Structure 1
Amino acid sequence: MAGENAVLHAQERTGTGKGAARQARRNGMVPGIVFGGDVDPLPINIPFNELIKRLKAGRFRSTLFTLKIDGHDDVRVICRDVQRDVVKDLPTHLDLMRLRRATKINLFIHVNVEGEEESPGLKKGGVLTLIRPEVELLVTAGDIPEQINIDVSELQIGDSITISDVKLPQGAKPTIDRDFVIATLSAPSGLRAEDDDEDQPEAGEVPTTEMDASDDA
């Protein structure tokens, strides 16, 4: 998650209860509530089209948003629930939680690659594959990194970088409890094809395994 937080625009909802919520939906809005942070809950409406766009982009519940509401200070929030229509599967209500600086949350953090120009494997034509362009980390809301960096300057063909090779920001840790791969450096496709051809027997040549079997007979 590089750069500034994603932005959600909302309006304060003046009415409460089922009637006000139904009216909001008729007006093309999705009702919601903002809670937490030692502040009274705030009823809001979010434009339906904007919310749908965010939901389709994925990872809505693990993305940190800056919530902008006219007449209120901007606040950092994370989604805690999205209620949907049981038939149409469309959002009907959402809960957003204000974040204190000490709050621990899971977020997907952007992976930045360094050292590509120095990598001996890349100089030989190797192909760098970023298996995980983002890594989900448990972080503190007051100290969220814009990115984590991986250094490929010493990678040879066949090498890989796992999460244990990465220096994580203080207080951050992976949500996956194993040493997973982030990036690999593999041989170019042409070189891999040549290696495969070398493994195939030439026309008329008997594979070693068949020769061994005939000798045993």
Structure 2
Amino acid sequence: MSGTVLEAFERTERGNKTRKSGFIPGILYGSGLKESRMVKFETEKLENDLSKTSNKKIKVKLGEDVEDGFIKEVQREPVSKRVLHIDIQVAKGTDIVKVQVPVAIEGRAALESQGLILDIQSQELTIHGAEQDIPENIVVDVSNLKVGDAITVSRIKVRDGLKIVDEPTKVIASASVPKEEEVETETEDTTTNEEGAAPAGTETPAE
């Protein structure tokens, strides 16, 4: 389980009033609770906690109770990206959940040492299974990728009881040649052609 603990406080006011008082409104729900709870989080602390991890698997503290849970949705202001609202699903042990789990890339240095660049196309995968079995991240090793190779969902293995919901053909990462090299090659070819050709509008003197 992640070490991230988000401290929540009960709230009764609407979202705008909550934000004006220096808090971020949120909702707790799930089988671990008798009913959904309206809560709020200290703005600065929540922003700081979220900036330190991409992990959706967290603990949430409300009063004396600490529950396991998942960040289901974070609403942000489009321009400033500040957090406007957060939804957290509380779950326990054998509860079946569906949650987005971050991808953790391994072997990037080995790939780049071959002069290749890594294109990450999927930052998260959706996993279905028991709460206690959901990993904090999905490790993807890219060290053996060659030019044009891609790692798709179909190549990712998870423990028994878990299922990746995303399409098997969904691309997670691929390897390619840096575009700068292609541009340099094109520039060199152009320069060579210009040096060997007479300027436009100039006749080549007869020998």
Which TM bucket (shorter chain)? 0.5 to 0.7
The 5 A counterparts of 1:3-152 are 4=2, 6-12=4-10, 20-21=12-13, 25=18, 28-29=22-23, 34-37=28-31, 39-41=33-35, 43=37, 45-50=39-44, 53=47, 63-72=56-65, 74-78=66-70, 96-100=88-92, 101-114=94-107, 116-117=109-110, 122-132=112-122, 134-140=123-129, 141-152=131-142
Q: Which amino acid aligns with 2:7?
A: H
Q: Secondary structure at the match of 1:139?
A: strand
What TM-score, normalized by structure 2, do the two folds share? Answer: 0.62
What is the number of residues matched between the two proteins? 182
- Distance in 2 of aligned mates of 1:31 and 1:127: 41
1:178 and 1:189 mapped to 2: Cα distance? 28
- Aligned residue among 140, 149, 164 for 1:173: 164
Residue-by-residue CA offset, 1:12-56 (whole Å, 9 max, x unaligned): 56xxxxxx436x8475456665444264337454235158738x9
8 Å Cα contact 2:127/2:134 also seen in 1: no
CA-CA distance at 1:191 after TM superposition: 3.3
Aligned twin of 2:147: 157
Question: Take 2:144 and 2:74, find their aligned partners in 1: how far apart are those partners?
Answer: 45
Identity in percent: 24
**What SS does structure 1 have at the residue aligned with 2:13?**
helix
Q: Deviations over 1:122-149 (max 9, x none)?
A: 44422223333x2221232221112222
Give the unaligned 5+ runs of structure 2.
Answer: 76-82, 198-207
Unaligned residue ranges in structure 1 (runs of 5+): 14-19, 84-89, 206-217
CA distance in 1, matches of 2:72, 2:139: 29
Runs of 4+ more than 6 Å apart: 80-83
Q: Distance in 1 between matches of 2:141 and 2:97?
A: 27
For 1:11, give the aligned amino acid: F
Task: Give the equivalent residue in structure 1 for 2:202.
Answer: none
Distance 1:65 1:157, change over 3 A: same
Relative to 1, partners in 2 of residues 1:49 and 1:185: Cα closer, same or farther, differing over 3 Å?
A: same
- What SS does structure 1 have at the residue aligned with 2:43? helix
* Alignment CA distance shift 1:162-1:197 (3 Å): farther
**Does structure 1 conserve the Cα–Cα contact (< 8 Å) formed by 2:31 and 2:91?**
yes
CA RMSD of aligned residues (A): 4.2
Is the 8 Å Cα contact of residues 71 and 86 (structure 2) preserved in structure 1? yes
User: What is the alpha-carbon distance in structure 1 between the residues aligned to residue 72 and residue 121 of structure 2?
Assistant: 28
SS at match of 1:202: helix
The 1:152/1:192 distance shift into structure 2, 3 A limit, reads same
Residue-by-residue CA offset, 1:55-85 (whole Å, 9 max, x unaligned): x96xx9x93331112322x1123466889xx
- For the 8 Å contact 2:72–2:87, the answer to whether it is kept is yes
Q: 1:82 to 1:65 in 2, by over 3 A?
A: same
